[in-house]
Structure 1
C-alpha cells in the first residue's frame, strides 16, 4: 500500500506542479477544470494544501483513500493534505473548488477544535444552503477581480467558511482521525517550521534537527511525499512570498528583498530569476499588466 502511494502524482492543483498564483489560495468553478479532463479528475494528492469541494448542482463521485461516496447538490467535501483522492463529475455539475495552502490554513484555523481539516468529511448544507451559495459566489468574485483590500476580504470569507465547517464537524460524534504515517507527520512539521522561519534562511540541517531526523532522511521524505527536495520546498515558499509582495504591495524590490531576509537586493533578484525565470521587476510589470 505504501509503495503504491508513492506512485500517485503530487500536484499543486491538478496537472500543475507549480503553484499558479501569488495568493495562498486558489478558487475556481468545478466545470472550469473538470471539463478539460472529460469530467474526471484522476487519482492524485497534494503535499501542502487542503481542498473544499462544494457541489451546487449535478453529481460528484468522490474517492478519498479508497473510500467512495456520491455528493449531491448542497454538499461540501473536505479533502485533507496528502490524502489520495479523485473525482468524477456529471456533465451538468455546478459548484466551486477552493484550494488553500496548508500554512494559511494552519494560521487561520489555529483555534479550531477537533482538527476537522485533517480528515475527510462531507457536510450537507441543509438550512445553510443560501449562506454557502452566497459565500462561495463572493469568494469566486473576490478572487477573480482585484480590488482594494482584496486579501483582507478573502481572509474574512475564508474565516466564515472555516467556522462553518468546524461547527458542522463539532455536531458529529467524535471520530478517531485516520493516523498519518510518521513520514506525513514529519512533512507536516517541516511545513509548519518553514512558515515560521523561511525569512531567516536557515539551512536544511536546522529543520532536520528540529524535527528529529537526519538531513538525508528529511530530503528523502520530501521527495517521496511532495515530489521536491527539502530545499526546493523552502525556496518555493520564499518565492511565493516574494511574488505576493511584488503584486500586492507598493514595496520596492529592495524593500521586498530586505523583508525576505536577503542581505542585498541583487541576491534576491538572482534567486527570484533562478526560481521563476523572470526578474522581480519583470514579474511585477507582467502581473500588473494582467490586472
Structure 2
C-alpha cells in the first residue's frame, strides 16, 4: 500500500534555506528558487504555510488542485496550506515567492472578518493583474511595491527587521485578498463564531481521515451540533457535515490526480473500508466514479 501522503510536502525553510527553518516569513526571488527546484515544478504542497508566487513577466502554467490556469505576467497565484499545486514558468521569468506560516495569516483574518467571504477559508487563486478592474489597478501596483520592499527588508539586517517583515507581509496578504475574486463580498462574523469555525477546520484537518461523526467534532469544541452547524452555514454558507465531506473529497481528488495509487489503495488511504462504498461516495459528490474521474482528468492534460 502507498504512503498515506504520497504528494511531497515541501518546507522551504528546511529544504531550500535552512537559515530560516523556524521563520514566520521566507522570501526569495522566483529566479533563485527556479534555479534550485527547476522551472517545471512538479506537484507538491506546503503544510502549515501559505505561499504566494508573483510573476512579473512571461507565461505561467499553474495547476491548483484540479484547476488549470495559463496566465501571463504580471500575475500571482496563492496557495493555502495543503493545497496541491504545480507550475511551469518561462526561462526568463522572475518575480517573488513569499512563504508565510499559516498562523500569521489566520491572525490577520481573525482581526478583520471583512477580508474573506468564506470565514477563515482562504481559497487558492490565480489572478492576471492586467485583467483586474480599473478600480483595483492601484491595489495591484501597491502589491508589487510591498513585495519589493519585503525583498529588500528580508535581505537586510536592519533593526526591527522581523517586525517590518511581519508588517509588510500583512499588507501583502491584504492586497492579495482584495485582488482575489469576490474578496469584497464578505459578511462580518462574530469573533467567537470565527474562533469556533477556525477550531472546527483545524479539527477536520487533523481527523477527517478517521471519519469522525459530527458529535465528536462538536464535543471537542464544546458546542452543540446545532450551534456548530449554524455557525458553518452563516460563515461558509455550507452545513458542517458538508465541510467535512468537502475536505475528504478534496483529498480523494488529489490522490486520484497526483499519485500512482490504485483506486482501491486511495480508498484505504482515505479511511474507507469498502472500495464499493468509496466509489458510491465519490460518485455522489463528483458525479463520476473515481476511475471515471481519473480518466477524464487524464484526457484533459
Aligned residues: 187
Question: Quick one: distance in 2 between partners of 1:170 and 1:62?
Answer: 17
Deviation at 1:187, TM superposition (A): 6.2
**Residue of structure 1 in register with 2:84 after alignment:** 84
**Residue of structure 2 in register with 1:16 after alignment:** 15
Does structure 2 conserve the Cα–Cα contact (< 8 Å) formed by 1:54 and 1:75?
yes
Does structure 1 conserve the Cα–Cα contact (< 8 Å) formed by 2:178 and 2:184?
no
Does structure 1 conserve the Cα–Cα contact (< 8 Å) formed by 2:9 and 2:45?
yes
What per-residue deviation string (whole Å, max 9, x for no partner) do you get for residues 96-141 of structure 1? 0100001111112322332586211123334234322221111111
Aligned: 1:118 with 2:129: no
What per-residue deviation string (whole Å, max 9, x for no partner) do you get for residues 203-255 of structure 1? xxxxxx8469xxxxxxxxxxxx9xxxxxxxxxxxxxxxxxxxxxxxxxxxxxx
Question: Quick one: distance in 2 between partners of 1:48 and 1:139?
Answer: 21
Does structure 1 conserve the Cα–Cα contact (< 8 Å) formed by 2:58 and 2:93?
yes
Does structure 1 conserve the Cα–Cα contact (< 8 Å) formed by 2:12 and 2:21?
no
Which consecutive residues of structure 2, in runs of 5 or more, have no partner in the other structure?
131-136, 187-199, 208-218, 223-250, 252-301
**Which of 183, 186, 195 pairs up with 2:203?**
186
Q: CA RMSD in A?
A: 3.4
Which consecutive residues of structure 1, in runs of 5 or more, have no partner in the other structure?
176-182, 191-208, 213-224, 226-291
Q: How does 1:165-180 map to 2 (within 5 A)?
A: 165-169=176-180, 171=182
Deviation at 1:147, TM superposition (A): 0.5
Deviation at 1:59, TM superposition (A): 2.0
Give TM-score scaled by structure 1 length.
0.55
Deviation at 1:184, TM superposition (A): 7.1
Aligned: 1:146 with 2:157: yes
Give TM-score scaled by structure 2 length.
0.54
- Further displaced range: 104-113 or 21-30: 104-113
User: What secondary structure does 2:179 align onto?
Assistant: helix
- Further displaced range: 140-149 or 108-117: 108-117
